[in-house]
Structure 1
Amino acid sequence: MSLNINMNKLITICALGIMAAGLGCKQSGGTTVVAKKDSLPAGDTVMSCTSNLPSRFAAKASTDSITASGNSSYAGMVKVPGGDFLMGAADKAGRPDEYPQHAVHVDGFYMDATEVTNGMFSQFVKATGYVTTAERTPDWSELKKQLPPGTPKPADSLLVAASLVFTPPAHPVQLNDVSQWWQWVKGANWKHPQGPGSNIKGKDNFPVVQVSWDDAMAYAKWAGKRLPTEAEWEWAARAGLTNQPFTWGSEPVEKGQPKANIWQGHFPDYNTVTDGYARVAPVQSFAANAYGLYDMAGNVWEWCSDWYRSDYYAQINAKKLINPAGPAASYDPEEPTVPKRVVRGGSFLCHASYCASYRVSARMKTSPDTGLEHTGFRCVKK
C-alpha cells in the first residue's frame, strides 16, 4: 500500500479506509512519542493484522476528570505468582519482533480472570459519564494540528463519530490489504460494536470492544487498577509453562476440543465456525489456563501499557530485566509517524495462515486512539 498520498485527498481517503502518510495518531492526555529509526535495518518489517489500519480522526480525550471508584476489591481477579521466564518466541514460528528470547523477572500481581465485559464497562460509564473515543465527534481544531498548513477543513459529513468494523468479503482477497475486511462505520462504538444496527443487549458477559487505549486507561483508573505491562501479560499467559507456544501447552489449536475463539476455514472470506463463534464469544466460553485466566488466546486483542517498538527485544542488553515497562518511545517501521501501543493475545480473526497470534509470544501494535471490533482489555493490580 503506497503512502505517497496527495494530502488534498486525505479526508476522502481516510473515509474510504486507507492510511494517509504523515497522519500520526495524537495520543490524548499526553505527549505523542515516536522514536527515530535508529538501528533498524532496511526492510525490517513485521507482518501484522493490525498494520496499516485506517487512522481515525483526532478526538481530544482526557482521563483528568476520572477518579478512582474507591472499590479496592479483588473480586473477579486471580493471583499470578511472581517468577522468572524467557520472554519471546522459543521456536521458528515467531515474527521478527519476537526475538531474541530474553530473561525477565516479574513480581507477583493480581489479574482480571476475564476480559473487561460490557457489564463492567457499563458500570464505569454510568458512574462517570465517560464518553469513549469512538463516540466523540472529531475535533477539527485538533485534527488540523496534525496536517500540513492550509489543509482545507473536510465536509462536516465526514467529521463524525465512527469506528472500525470487520466486514468479511464474499470471496478470497489478497491478505496484504486490510481495507478488504475493515470498514469505517459511522455510529460504531462499544454500545454498537458493528454499527447502529447492532447492540449489546443481553451481552453483559461479552468482552467490551471498540475501546481505545485511552478508554482502557480511563476504566483502569476508575477501577483502581492499571493495564498490564507486556511482560506481565506474557508471563500470565504462559501460566508456568516453559517455552510452550500456547497458553495451554503445545497441542495445535486445531486438534482436540476447541481451545480458543479464533478463525477457522479460509481467512477472511469463509469461517466454518467450528469453535461455535463467528465473532466475539462470551467470557469463560473456553477453558482457563493453569492460573485460572480465560481467553488469553483468541477472542479479543488486549491492550498493554507498553509502547510498541519492533526492535525492542534486540536492543535489550541486560542479563535479566526486572519488571520491564517496555521501551521509552514507539517505533513501527511500517508506519513510522504513528505511535503504537502493544496489544496481546490475538482475536476471533486470528488464523494459522495469517497472523496466528494466539501464540503466547505474539506481539501486535495499534495506535492508542483506535478502537476495533476485536480489541478489548483486562486489568491488573498489586
Structure 2
Amino acid sequence: MSAASRASRRVGSSRGSRFMAAAAEGSTTEPEAGEVRTMWREIRCCNDSASVIEGPCVGNGRLEPGNLIADEYVVGEALRVGGAGAVYRAVRRGTGERCAVMVLSSSLGDVATRERLVELARVGPSIESEHVPAVLAAGFDRTLQAAWLVTEEIEGEALPAVLAKTGPLPIGVVSGLMRQVFDALASAHEAGVVHGALTADDVFVAPSPRAKGAGWVSVLGFGVARGLAERRWQEGLREDDSSTLHSADVRALGMLGLAMLSGKAEPGGESTLAPSATLQGLGVPDAVALGWFDAWFEACVAAEPEAQFQSVEEAEEAWEHGVAAPQRAGRPRWALGALALVLVGVAVTAALHLRGRVERHAPAGGAAGVGHRPAAPRSHCPAGMVWLPGGQFLMGSREDRGDPDQRPRHVVNMSGFCMERTEVTVGAYGRYWALRGHPPELAPDEGFNCNWRRADRVDHPMNCIDWRAARDYCEWPGHPGGPRRLPTEAQWEFAAHGPEGGRYPWGDGVPGEQVCWSGVSPRLGTCQVGASRRDVTSTGLVDMAGNVAEWTADLYAPQYAVPDAAVPIDPAGPESTPDGLRVFRGGTWAISVPSGLRAATRGRHTESMRARGVGWRCVRGPSGDDP
C-alpha cells in the first residue's frame, strides 16, 4: 500500500470485525483440510529456568496439543519458534474461533517482568495498519506460568515457506509485498513502536485479490514491541531521535527486499558482491534492470547513520522511485551519492493523509527526469504528532456568520508546526500522572461524564481538568521530543481548517452521525478518539469539531486585535486581560447545533474550570523549538 493510498484506508480492521462477529455467533466451524489460513492470537510464556529456547515451554515442560491457556484457549500444533517466544495454533473455547498461542522467552526477564510486559502491551500504543494484527487481550496464566497476548487473526504462511515454493519473485510481486511491509513498519513507528527484530519469519503472506496478485501481508511480533515501547515511555526515554531506534527496522527492509528478489529467506547480505550482481548470479530474471536496487539496499543496511535512510518513509519513497523509473540498457547504475542527492535535492509540497502521515508530492521537474519525493519536515515530529506546513489563512468569521467575538475576519500567516493527532487521552494522561508521582493538584475530577479512572475510557479524551494542568502536561520535558505547548488560537484554527478555509474541519458539508456530537441523537459522554470518521481534517487531525473542546494558550479578548497594515505572523492572544479568562476552541459531544462545531467557534472560561466537555492537545516546533 503506497503512502498516498493509505489516505483511503478504512478506520479499524475488518479482520477484528470478523473475529468479533464469529465469536458473537458462537461459530464452531473447522477450516477445511488444506485451507491456506492461519487464524491466530499471540500468547507467550516460558520456563524461567530455560536459558535457551529450543522449543515452546511452559513451567517445566512444553505446550502440547490440548493444553489450556487462561482457561480459554486450547493449544494446537506449533507454528514457529524463536525470537521473543513460540507461536502455536489454538482454538478459543466456547466460540470455536481459530487462534494461536505465543509464549514469552525467558530472555525478556523473570516472571514479574514478563507479566508486566504483556500488561503494557495490552494498553500500549495502537498501531493503525491493516498489516499489523491488533492486540485484543493479554494476561498471565498462573497455572502454566505463562504470559500471553491475544491479537487479531492473520492469514497465510511465513515468507520463507512461500519462497521455498516460488523461488525468486518478480519485481511487481515484490513491490506489492514490500508496500504492505512499509505500511506496517511506518505505522508502528508513528505510534512510537519499534519492531527491532524483524526477519522473514515475521512476514506472513496469504493470497489476496486486494493485493493484486502479490498476496496479503501480516507482520508479526509487534505485541511484545508494544509492551517495550510502553515501558520506554513510562521510563521517560525520549524517542524523537529515531535514527538509532529505527535503524534495525530500516536494515530489515533491505534484507526483506533482497530475500524476495533472490528467493532465499537468508540471501547472504554480507556478500562482497553488489545485490544486483548476486541476483544475476542466481539467474534472477530481469536482474540487470535492478541496478537501482544496489543503492537502495546500501541505504537500508549502511552502518553509518548518516548514510542510512532516516525513516521507513524515506526507504519507501526511494523504492517507489526505483520501481517507477527502472534503469535503461546502457545507463550507468545509480551511485549511493546520486540517490542521496535525489532524496534531499528536490522541492516538496507537504500534504498529510488521514492518519497524519506525509504524502510527499513529486516536483514538476528534476535532474534527468528523476521525480523522487524527499522526506518532509513531518519526519521531525515525534510519534503521534502531525506536521502542518505553514501557510496563509483567513481567521475568524464573516459579519453574517458566527458570534461577534469571532471578528474581524483577517488574514494570518502561519509558520509550520507539529500538532498531536488526537486529543490527549485518559491513558496518556494516566501514564504522565504516574510518572509525575501522582500529584493531587494534577488529578482530574471524577464523577458523572468525567473519564478519569474509567477503565472503559482509556482511549477517550481526558476531560474534567483545568487549564493549568493541561498546560503542565504539554510542557512536561518527558514527552518524546521534549516539552510541548498548548496551541495558540491561531494555530488551533489554522489546524482545524487550514488554507482551504472550510466551515468545518472536513469542509462545508453539515455534520452527520459520523461526528461525536448530539445533533443527530443525544450522546451521554465522549467518544473514543479518532472514531468519528467524518471529523478528520485534510492533514489527518481528528476530533477537531466534536468530542471535547480544547484549551488553548491564549487569554480571551472579545475581538481580535488586527494590525492596520502588516499581515500578522503567528499571532498570539493578549498578554493580560482584566478577567484572565482562557480560550478553548472547537465543539463538544453535548453540542446539538451545527454552528457550535465550526472551526472559528470560540469559548472562554476561568483557568480553574474543569468541564466535562473540555480537553486539549499539544503542539511543538518541527525540531523541538517553541511553536
TM-score, normalised via structure 2 length = 0.36
Q: Greater relative contact order (Cα 8 A, min sep 6): structure 1 or 2?
A: 1
Judged with a 3 Å threshold, the aligned counterparts in structure 2 of structure 1 residues 81 and 293 are, in CA distance, closer, same or farther, namely same
Tell me what 1:231 maps to.
Answer: 490
Q: In the alignment, is the contact (CA less than 8 A) between 1:237 and 1:360 conserved in 2?
A: yes
Tell me what 2:405 maps to.
Answer: 97
SS where residue 303 of structure 1 aligns? strand
Of 495, 505, 515, the match for 1:247 = 505
Percentage of pairs with the same residue: 31
Of 608, 612, 616, the match for 1:377 = 616
Matched, 1:88 2:329: no
Whole-Å Cα distance in 1 between the matches of residues 418 and 572 of structure 2? 17
Matched, 1:216 2:470: yes
Cα displacement (A) at 1:71: 2.6
Q: In the alignment, is the contact (CA less than 8 A) between 1:306 and 1:342 conserved in 2?
A: yes
**Superposition map of 1:1-382 within 5 A:** 69=236, 71=238, 73=240, 74-90=382-398, 92-131=400-439, 133=441, 135=443, 189-190=444-445, 192-194=446-448, 199-222=453-476, 223=479, 224-242=483-501, 244-254=502-512, 258-264=513-519, 272-273=521-522, 277-287=523-533, 288-311=536-559, 313=560, 316-330=563-577, 338-352=579-593, 356-382=595-621
Q: Which runs of 5+ in 1 are unaligned?
A: 1-67, 136-188, 266-271, 332-337
Amino acid at match of 1:128: R
Cα displacement (A) at 1:210: 0.9
CA displacement, residues 171-216 of structure 1 (integer Å, 9 cap, x when unaligned): xxxxxxxxxxxxxxxxxx44x2428998411321110111111001
Judged with a 3 Å threshold, the aligned counterparts in structure 2 of structure 1 residues 221 and 249 are, in CA distance, closer, same or farther, namely same
Whole-Å Cα distance in 2 between the matches of residues 318 and 340 of structure 1? 28
Over aligned residues, Cα RMSD in angstroms?
2.4
CA displacement, residues 74-105 of structure 1 (integer Å, 9 cap, x when unaligned): 11111111011110013622100111111111
Cα displacement (A) at 1:351: 2.2
Cα displacement (A) at 1:264: 2.5
Whole-Å Cα distance in 2 between the matches of residues 196 and 225 of structure 1? 25
Judged with a 3 Å threshold, the aligned counterparts in structure 2 of structure 1 residues 327 and 72 are, in CA distance, closer, same or farther, namely farther
Q: In the alignment, is the contact (CA less than 8 A) between 1:133 and 1:211 conserved in 2?
A: no
Q: In the alignment, is the contact (CA less than 8 A) between 2:442 and 2:469 conserved in 1?
A: no
Tell me what 2:179 maps to.
Answer: none
CA displacement, residues 3-40 of structure 1 (integer Å, 9 cap, x when unaligned): xxxxxxxxxxxxxxxxxxxxxxxxxxxxxxxxxxxxxx
Judged with a 3 Å threshold, the aligned counterparts in structure 2 of structure 1 residues 71 and 330 are, in CA distance, closer, same or farther, namely farther
Indicate the larger mover: 86-95 or 118-127.
Answer: 86-95
Whole-Å Cα distance in 2 between the matches of residues 129 and 198 of structure 1? 17
Judged with a 3 Å threshold, the aligned counterparts in structure 2 of structure 1 residues 316 and 365 are, in CA distance, closer, same or farther, namely farther
Whole-Å Cα distance in 1 between the matches of residues 605 and 524 of structure 2? 23
Whole-Å Cα distance in 2 between the matches of residues 373 and 201 of structure 1? 17
TM-score, normalised via structure 1 length = 0.58
Amino acid at match of 2:569: I
Cα displacement (A) at 1:359: 0.3
Cα displacement (A) at 1:289: 1.3
Whole-Å Cα distance in 1 between the matches of residues 610 and 415 of structure 2? 30
Q: In the alignment, is the contact (CA less than 8 A) between 2:581 and 2:606 conserved in 1?
A: yes
Which has more helix, going by share of residues? 2
Judged with a 3 Å threshold, the aligned counterparts in structure 2 of structure 1 residues 197 and 250 are, in CA distance, closer, same or farther, namely closer
SS where residue 387 of structure 2 aligns? strand
Q: In the alignment, is the contact (CA less than 8 A) between 2:516 and 2:547 conserved in 1?
A: yes
SS where residue 508 of structure 2 aligns? coil
Judged with a 3 Å threshold, the aligned counterparts in structure 2 of structure 1 residues 240 and 193 are, in CA distance, closer, same or farther, namely farther
Whole-Å Cα distance in 2 between the matches of residues 71 and 317 of structure 1? 44
Amino acid at match of 2:434: K
Cα displacement (A) at 1:239: 3.5
CA displacement, residues 323-351 of structure 1 (integer Å, 9 cap, x when unaligned): 111112235xxxxxx32111001111222
Whole-Å Cα distance in 2 between the matches of residues 366 and 301 of structure 1? 12
Whole-Å Cα distance in 2 between the matches of residues 111 and 89 of structure 1? 23
Cα displacement (A) at 1:317: 3.0
